[in-house]
Amino acid sequence: MTKIEKNLDDIPPSLKGGANSKRNGVIANAKFITTKKYRDFYKKKDTTTLLKRIYKNKCAYCEQIVLQDSEQNKTLPNDKSIVEHYRPTSKYYWLAYSWDNLLLSCLACSDNKGNDFEIINQKIEYSNSFKNKIHKSTKLYNRLEKPKMIHPELEDIKDKLDFNRDGVIKSADERVKYTIKTCKLDRYELNEKRQTVLNKLIDDINYVIEQKESMRDVILNFMDKNNDFIAFRIWISKNRKELLRKNG
């Protein structure tokens, strides 16, 4: 997981327009309404397009690519992304259409997280006064409730994440541990993919050494912000001396 910059004033039009009446309906019902009409409104094209741009087509939690760039990869239109609610609609129905509660996620992380959202303090219940700041309430709610789940748009946890050379993710921090466990960020498939990232770097480095080519492009490509698993790449960069000595 890596810190994501989102402009909370750049709200997709559908979340400001049509979503208002849907939100009112959900609030009157005091529970999220799961019919298509209500579910469709937080994932209109303007919202998904903007989220994909902000998240660079990567999952907010595990950082794997969820959508191939159709310009570069016309043969790979695979969209494995989902609009994910940081605070689940099952417990926070009034936040179903709130811009700062919407993240881009892969199906697996979203499924794993499900309705899990443990908090340390007391849960906030709906109040009419919330409507004024409906797209910018996460910071305040987090201060009051103290959730265990990390919000990637609010927190930078790169110094709290640890990995090993097999791509296994871990942390000594309780909240980061909760996030890893809840989204299953240590699942086999992800560890394998991260391990591949390191192995490919080692291969690339060995190749340019052999060919007496410049290392600069390898490093620039490796650290490109559009890549998957940025937190792991940062960890590799920090520990490169030890990692590359063992395998170089």
Residues in CB range of 117: below 8 A, 6 or more apart: 87, 88, 91, 147, 149
Cα 201 from chain centroid? 24
| Only segment of 1-9, 15-23, 55-63, 222-230 that touches Zn ion (CB under 5 A) | 55-63
Closest CA to 223 of 248, 209, 247, 204: 204
Q: Return the residue of 1, 15, 26, 62 that touches Zn ion, per CB under 5 A.
A: 62
Is 55 a binding residue for Zn ion by CB under 5 A? The answer is: no
Q: Which of residues 148-207 bind Zn ion (CB under 5 A)?
A: none
Q: Which of residues 101-120 bind Zn ion (CB under 5 A)?
A: 106, 109
Nearer Cβ to Zn ion, position 4 or 62?
62
Nearer Cβ to Zn ion, position 26 or 106?
106
Nearer Cβ to Zn ion, position 63 or 100?
63
Say if CB 152 and CB 60 are below 8 A apart.
Answer: yes
Q: Return the residue of 11, 51, 54, 59 that touches Zn ion, per CB under 5 A.
A: 59
Distance, CA of 187 to CA of 98 (rounded, Å): 30
CB 39, min distance to Zn ion, A = 20
CB 106, min distance to Zn ion, A = 3
Nearer Cβ to Zn ion, position 61 or 99?
61
Helix (H) or strand (E) holding 208: helix 188-211
Closest CA to 25 of 47, 44, 41: 41
Q: What are phi and psi of 105, to 5 degrees?
A: -140, 165
CB 66, min distance to Zn ion, A = 7
Distance, CA of 72 to CA of 231 (rounded, Å): 24
Per CB under 5 A, residues contacting Zn ion are 59, 61-62, 106, 109
